[in-house]
Amino acid sequence: MEIKYITTRDLQNSSGEIKGKVRVIVLKGEDVANIDLTCPECGHVQKKKQEFKLPLDLQCEKCGFKIKLESLRKEIKKK
């Protein structure tokens, strides 16, 4: 099993507190992201699969909180 893309990041809630986490893995030869997400807003833990394309738009299935996961290069440039 070869990995094409992998990232683990902390996520901020609407108050700016780091309360959530996301892990994304895409296997080589696939265009589907395997996502483990802990919502920073409500704490709901979920696993999902969706088409892999950066930026990756995620949404909590419980509270609807939206998360945009950009490439790390773009994220670092913003800071």
Quick: pLDDT tens for 1-24.
Answer: 899 999 999 999 999 999 999 999
CB-facing half-sphere around the CA of 31: CA atoms within 13 A: 3
* Entry pTM: 0.88
pLDDT at 76 exceeding the cut of 80: no
Q: Taking CA 44 as the corner, what is the angle to CA 70 and CA 34, rounded to the nearest 5 degrees?
A: 50
52, 31 contact by CB (below 8 A): yes
Residue 71: predicted pLDDT: 83
Task: Considering only residues 78 and 5, tell me which one the structure prediction assigns the higher pLDDT.
Answer: 5
pLDDT tens-digit map of 23-46: 999 999 999 999 999 999 999 999
